[in-house]
Amino acid sequence: MSPVLLDSSVLVALLDRSERYHERCAAAVRELESPLVTCDAVVAESCYLLRGMPPAVDSILENIARGVFQIPFQLSRTAAEVARIMRKYRDVPADLADACLIYAAGQLGVGEILTLDHNFKIYRWGRNKPFHLLISLD
């Protein structure tokens, strides 16, 4: 079963019931049987955005510890490639979390992503492959 990439926008919406897309994100995650893959930058960004909700931050870390959210690579080993991706998409712009997810897509060979970020319609992984956004905002 191929993994699905998890972006901070969906992670935050999952854990903050006041978020506009909370129900849509929760439903999308419930329908999945695939492992959820993310990166340290997404975790850091999500924890920062949820800093006023300590139980939500605890939930993120607990899900990592239990293997619900998998982190397959370390930035220290991939920093040069992630920096290249950030330069490529400087005009969009791609932040660190986005670049890490683009890198992960190429490494894992998957383009399915849970995100609310429209920039993933622009980003490409592998050799110019589009991402498949699993949550429609249209």
Domain ranges of the chain: 4-133
d(CA 123, CA 91): 11
Q: Read off the pLDDT of residues 20-52 as tens digits, 9 standing for 90 and up.
A: 999 999 999 999 999 999 999 999 999 999 999
Which superfamily, per CATH, for 4-133? 5'-nuclease (3.40.50.1010)
Residue 136 pLDDT grade (very low, low, confident, very high; cuts 50, 70, 90)? confident
d(CA 25, CA 110): 20
Q: Read off the pLDDT of residues 80-114 as tens digits, 9 standing for 90 and up.
A: 999 999 999 999 999 999 999 999 999 999 999 99
What token pair was written down for 40? Answer: 């340290």
Those residues whose C-beta lies under 8 Å from the C-beta of residue 3, and which sit 6 or more positions away, are 34, 35, 36, 37, 70, 108, 110
Q: What is the pTM of this model?
A: 0.95
Please tell me the predicted confidence (pLDDT) of residue 110.
97
